[in-house]
Amino acid sequence: MSANDKPLIAIAGATSKQGRSVASTLLRSGRFRVRALTRKKDSPEALNLEKLGAEIVTVPLQLGFQKDVVAAFEGADGAFLMTPPIIPPETTEAPIGRQLADAAVEAGVGHIVFSTLENVDAISGGTKFAPHFTDKARVADHIRGLPISHSFVILAFFYTNLLEYYLPRMEGDTLLLPIYLPEDFRAPFVDPLTATGPAVLEIFSNPERYNGRTLPIVGDVISPREMVETFREVTGLKAEYRNAFTRGGLLQYFPEFAANELFVQELLGMVEYAVQYGYFGKEHDLEWSRRLNPDTLDWKQYLRTTGWRGDKRSFGLQEKREAVLSGIT
């Protein structure tokens, strides 16, 4: 097969944690070409993808760029679609997702994979506020009505949340880990950087098998108590859990969040939803991605692989989040 005979997959959000994983896995498989959509052609992440063989196209994931997205999707056999982190009061996530899906239809893309989450609004009867979940589910509903072959992935909570957002702090000789979930609540977690790609490679390799299906991507199901115990065991450091799941706990450890009340409500709504209803609907096969890829990292393997010892790690978009939280944007 010559390089040009390989199916071409366009990736929206290609420099994101999920997107990078998809792009690099598809390229390394040697079975696909990749077109990477980004706002910044010269960011380290985009340059890395280019080095791996991706074609880089400059398009923002923003409303009003339908034509540019259609042009970026022209000739693609498949597209991986995701919405960027949108922090309230911004409400553009669902329209951005619909714009991406509509563009894929208009460009004649063969199969799309959209990264979705559960419809918290519908499941909780409107009692829990988590628009970054519900908006993705609304995009998925929109996609189900489009004349295009499609699949969905649902990623568990990211381990990276603890490394880039809910940062530990030292008190005396002990590292305190403020975690956004109750200490004994077992929740699904995953490393988006290593787990997304293999799952999406499988889907684009067998689009008929996965047409219409929703596939969860999970690395571990683990409670904060177990996460902290494992952290102590792997790092040898003294560490303790701290509550960052109630309003008081969250704002004690992250007082800067108070600048954005809607964001606080969203974080609390998401956790209350997960605790009360479960992060994933009961219909999902939570073992699917781990059966497919036995190398999927559980929390212990994640700590060993990354060597994380409580330090702050940045995966790309920290500045934007900090700007939003401090009311700059």
- Residue 75 near ligand NAP by CB under 6 A: no
Q: Alpha helix locations (H) across the chain?
A: 17-29, 44-52, 66-73, 93-107, 120-123, 131-144, 160-164, 192-205, 207-210, 224-235, 247-253, 261-277, 288-292, 299-306, 318-325
Segment contacting ligand NAP by CB under 6 A, of 60-68, 72-80, 104-112, 303-311: 60-68
- Residue 320 near ligand NAP by CB under 6 A: yes
The residue among 78 and 219 lying less far from ligand NAP, judged by its C-beta, is: 219
Residue owning tokens 């990749």: 34
Distance CA 261, CA 265 (A): 6
Shortest gap between Cβ of 38 and ligand NAP (angstroms)? 3
Segment contacting ligand NAP by CB under 6 A, of 237-245, 251-259, 287-295, 314-322: 314-322
- The burial of 156, by beta-carbon neighbours within 10 Å (0-12 exposed, 13-18 middle, 19 or more buried), is given as buried
Segment contacting ligand NAP by CB under 6 A, of 22-30, 47-55, 78-86, 118-126: 78-86
Distance CA 98, CA 63 (A): 10
Of 235, 262, 316, 325, which one interacts with ligand NAP (CB under 6 A)?
A: 316
Distance CA 22, CA 193 (A): 8
Q: Nearest residue to ligand NAP, using CB? A: 16
Segment contacting ligand NAP by CB under 6 A, of 54-62, 98-106, 169-177, 197-205: 54-62
Site track for ligand NAP across 221-240, x = CB under 6 A: --------------------
- Residue 97 near ligand NAP by CB under 6 A: no
Shortest gap between Cβ of 236 and ligand NAP (angstroms)? 27
Q: Which residue type does 177 have?
A: L
The residue among 62 and 246 lying less far from ligand NAP, judged by its C-beta, is: 62
Of 8, 10, 11, 17, which one interacts with ligand NAP (CB under 6 A)?
A: 17
- Residue 13 near ligand NAP by CB under 6 A: yes
Dihedral sign (CA 290, 296, 301, 302): negative
The residue among 124 and 196 lying less far from ligand NAP, judged by its C-beta, is: 196
Q: Alpha helix locations (H) across 220-314?
A: 224-235, 247-253, 261-277, 288-292, 299-306
Token pair listed for 263: 């964001």
Segment contacting ligand NAP by CB under 6 A, of 56-64, 137-145, 252-260, 290-298: 56-64
- Residue 58 belongs to what H/E stretch? strand 55-58
The residue among 43 and 110 lying less far from ligand NAP, judged by its C-beta, is: 43
Shortest gap between Cβ of 173 and ligand NAP (angstroms)? 30
Site track for ligand NAP across 132-171, x = CB under 6 A: x----------------------x-xx--x----------
- Residue 38 near ligand NAP by CB under 6 A: yes
Of 10, 18, 23, 220, which one interacts with ligand NAP (CB under 6 A)?
A: 18
- Looking at residue 281, the DSSP 8-state letter turns out to be -
DSSP string, 167-213: --EEETTEEEEEESS-TT--EEEE-HHHHHHHHHHHHHHSHHHHTT-
Distance CA 82, CA 75 (A): 19
Identify whether 89 is preceded by a cis peptide bond (ω within 30 of 0): yes
Q: What is the contact surface with ligand NAP in residues (CB under 6 A)?
A: 13, 15-18, 38-40, 43, 46, 60-62, 82-85, 117, 132, 155, 157-158, 161, 192, 315-317, 320
